[in-house]
Amino acid sequence: MTRTVRKGEGAGGRTWKRQTKEDSTKHWLGEGGVGQETLFLELTVEQYLIDQELCSVAVQIARTGASGPEPPVSLFIPPTSSVSWLIGYLSRLFDTYVWQIDSTETLVLDATSHFAVEIISGELPPDLPPLHLLLHAKADWANEREFSLSVRELCQYLHRDGVALFVIHGEDSGEEARIRWASGELSLLGDLLQSLSQYRQLVVPEVTKIFLEPTAIDDRERLRAFLHRHRSYFGRNARDFLLARMSDPDFREVSVAHNNQTNWVGILQFDSTNESQR
The yes-or-no verdict on residue 172 having pLDDT over 70 is: yes
More confident call, 260 vs 228 = 228
Least confident among 18-22, 67-71, 157-161: 18-22
Torsion of CA 84, 86, 92, 95, to 10 degrees: -70
Digit-coded pLDDT (tens) for 59-91 = 999 998 767 678 899 999 999 888 899 999 999
* Predicted structure pTM score: 0.85
**Separation between Cα atoms, residue 276 and residue 21, nearest integer Å:** 39
Helix (H, G, I), strand (E, B) or coil at 177: strand
pLDDT class of 22 with cuts at 50, 70, 90: very low
pLDDT number for residue 78:
95
Which spans in 127-188 are helix H? 144-154
Instruction: Fill in the DSSP letter of residue 202.
Output: B
Residue 45 to residues 17, 75, 187, 202, 253: CA-CA distances in angstroms?
30, 23, 23, 30, 8
pLDDT number for residue 55:
97
**Cβ-proximal residues to 124 (8 Å cutoff; 6+ apart), any chain:** 75, 99, 154, 157
Instruction: Fill in the DSSP letter of residue 94.
Output: S
pLDDT class of 267 with cuts at 50, 70, 90: very high
pLDDT number for residue 40:
95
**Separation between Cα atoms, residue 75 and residue 165, nearest integer Å:** 10
pLDDT class of 107 with cuts at 50, 70, 90: very high
Domains located in the chain, CATH noted: 2-10+23-276 (3.40.50.150)
The yes-or-no verdict on residue 188 having pLDDT over 80 is: yes
As a whole number of Å, the end-to-end CA separation of the chain is 26
The yes-or-no verdict on residue 5 having pLDDT over 70 is: no
pLDDT number for residue 80:
87
pLDDT number for residue 256:
45
